[in-house]
Chains A and B, each alone.
Chain A
Amino acid sequence: QSVLTQPPSLSATPGQNVTISCSGSSSNIGNHYVSWYQQLPGTPPKLLIYDNHERPSGIPDRFSGSKSGTSATLDITGLRTGDEADYYCATFDSSLSVGVFGGGTKLTVL
């Protein structure tokens, strides 16, 4: 079982907006920055969001992140078929003293 909880799957149609949630606790999300990763089939994960809401260069502003208390969300607007991927949240956990990942959300764009 992952320390961070994400919905296993979501589906939407092109053009729609989706929100992926990531729930944790005070030992992880509540007191540490959250990052998000996109993993396209057969490829390594790619950094999408860091420090809760910052985007690396090259990541379109259709992707945005936020954090409130012990939960974080990744919003994707104007969905495209190329956004179909697995999405993971991650942070540091003070109790475990290591990084932790969410279980991942498989986004299907129909």
Chain B
Amino acid sequence: QVQLVQSGAEVKRPGSSVRVSCKTSRDAFTRHTFHWVRQAPGRGLEYMGGVVPGYGKTSYAQKFQDTVTITADDSATTAYLEVKWLTSDDTAMYYCARGTYSNYFDSWGQGTLVTVSS
């Protein structure tokens, strides 16, 4: 059973940044990609981007290219999502998901709620 454990809920001011982490075991980390998907309240799933650990290669949905950075720390077997210049529209649940060879997501984190409010 693969477990992805995400960091806790955050409350942020508009204009600030947030970093969310997603930790898993060494076995679950190796030879997989890691992705971030967000879900605004009452809305559907929105793909943000992903990272290939070990290579540092990233890809981002066009909407998030200027405000999102996704990284992976191989030694800590942890993936990170940083969102900059937060606005109220970024209030959402953020999920990390493990990617596989044919681009499906076989395991998901529990989600991290980020609330942006003044």
- On A, residues with C-beta under 8 Å from B are 2, 32-33, 35, 37, 39, 44-47, 50-51, 56, 86, 88, 90-92, 96-104
Contact = CB atoms under 8 A, between A and B. Distances in A.
Interface stretch (B9-17, B45-53, B84-92): B45-53
Contacts of A96: 61-62
Interface residues of B, number: 26
B59 interface: yes
B35 to A, nearest CB: 7
Contact of A44 (B47, B61, B103, B108): B108
Interface of B: 35, 37, 44-47, 49-50, 59-62, 95, 97, 99-100, 102-111
Nearest to A3: B47
28 contacts: A2-B44, A32-B102, A32-B103, A33-B102, A33-B103, A35-B104, A35-B105, A44-B111, A45-B45, A45-B108, A47-B106, A50-B104, A51-B104, A88-B44, A88-B45, A90-B45, A90-B47, A90-B105, A91-B103, A96-B62, A98-B59, A98-B60, A99-B99, A100-B47, A101-B37, A101-B44, A101-B45, A104-B45
Nearest to B48: A98
A51 B102 contact: yes
A15 B71 CA distance: 46
A89 to B, nearest CB: 10
Contacts of B60: 98
B47 A98 contact: yes
Contact of A104 (B44, B61, B97, B105): B44
